Structure 1
């Protein structure tokens, strides 16, 4: 892990390399650097969490700043280099960040520290791009492979990725992942997950939409026993279409345990959602199922989990993205724009796929609201979510107890 005292030195080195933009490929390696681009992003966020436990309210808050500096060279014979540093500082609050040992406080998973977020070489030729090194990987809607950009410390991957578009309307990608740099940072025992994982994704565009097929073969090479649960083979298909004022998504996947997975199971994933544009608002309807059986449950350990199953993260389950009885999520959203601001209201109704030991399936509900505005290089967002536990709150063999939770986020961004 890079030490904080070296961060300012890195900023000066990369900043000195910044030059004006150029649309002409460099004629030498030195020119590739002098014509490169540097960018700085600052994201200040206040997060507050209140959990209504039986012994009373448990509250926590944090005011954190993510400082991101990156530099990309100009292309030289199709070859470019990219490097990106992130620094996360905490100015107020002492809540549990997953590393600092404040386990009695609600989790706000934004640990402080300075890390190399991305560093890769890329080569483009033959309608193909090759990337090798630490990189951001996002596939389809991030349900299976994402970057968890919501958290201050982003999830990136040490990987070799290849993307090809030689055939008209067809995009093919293959990725081999050797390590996942998780949001908890390198000071955490679970901050890195060594892997021997293969991701295959194909997408073909039609006049009415696009069809994706994928195979995600996950295998953990890490000695941490908890990571063996991610050893899975997932195969699926996704259709994104639009007809008139309705845009819709349909998806189905099946997952089977593999490798050293301690569970032996087969489970399914299903999604059906539609967004209806009835100006001045867009109405969204969705139903998502992560199923379970007696031997295991469908997991998505590389996903951007904050995007799914509500914003309070009650079903994250240590990063697996599901609980042992499975989750059914029926949701409704209404979004629009007014006075130069974008807004959205969201409601989720949760039930388990299988009843728990006491025969219940009610997992509760969540109401969320967000409003945001962007102007020039600046943007700001206010977000709120309130989760109400259902009648069947004790789940996951006693390992997960759902409790009423309220969260507030105020975020300010600036890009240079």
Structure 2
């Protein structure tokens, strides 16, 4: 039996959403002078606009793209894109994990657009060479629930007729994004930089804005998803005007995260921190015989939402219900010690582990977490052996 480790991660938070707050975060350190003010007050609108400007600067979004907030985190941002933009031409949905499958179901069942589905088993990608860029294409850049990402943007056509609609919620601020290849990019505060939940961000290319200006879907669009007015794209949204009543405290929390991001060195440093965290976890996986990456191909492995699978027969020999029960015991052991929180996979994903390695996590904490993973595995496996 492996001895109980002596050292715990200083910040044992590895959830894939909401993710760890930035190092040194204090709720009491946020500005509070605008709390309780009206959402249309000029000072509040300007603060929201400031948040968009800071987002553009840190994420290095080109001036050609407009930014706006949406309700409902990344889910709301993706839904707003689907409801407002799709229908002018055929649609493909690249669906290789839970949320891609959700967008596929929405386009098919709610928008009634008969999309072509490009799917793959958990841990793999569809054949991206088969994407048809005469169509609008909806895809995640990084599959938060499968630990799979697209390797680059080379598969996206420069001369595409359709729109490239990218759910980038667990990729933004952690992976390079080819903005010239992307017409819609969505993400949420709660994953990108450890912000609070509830507000999403959408970046629209000139081609996407032109679609909004010229195309009117033949369906009613719910108010909380509507990003157009009577003339086309509602340009007031790009100036910080809120679609509904957003939390001012959440915006202040987001600005705080952006200020931290710029202070540590900007986008290149955020990507470096993410890559270092992933490398530390990958080193441990390479020397540990009971665990492996869910994606087999290294070039498609996520560096943020790292998804792992059990390869030890003491676990793989269990049925699906037994493996899920094993994960539950594993999680309880770690959290009972206050060592590693929220390392379980998404409820629809195969049983295994999932640890967030984004930029707000410290590499030293990833390293400190791994002995606890080994300890918990042996204790959980011994429990099963004793029962059998």
| Structure-2-length-normalised TM-score | 0.24
| Structure-1-length-normalised TM-score | 0.23
Q: Which has the higher contact order (CA 8 A, sep 6+)?
A: 2
In proportion to residue count, which structure has more strand?
1
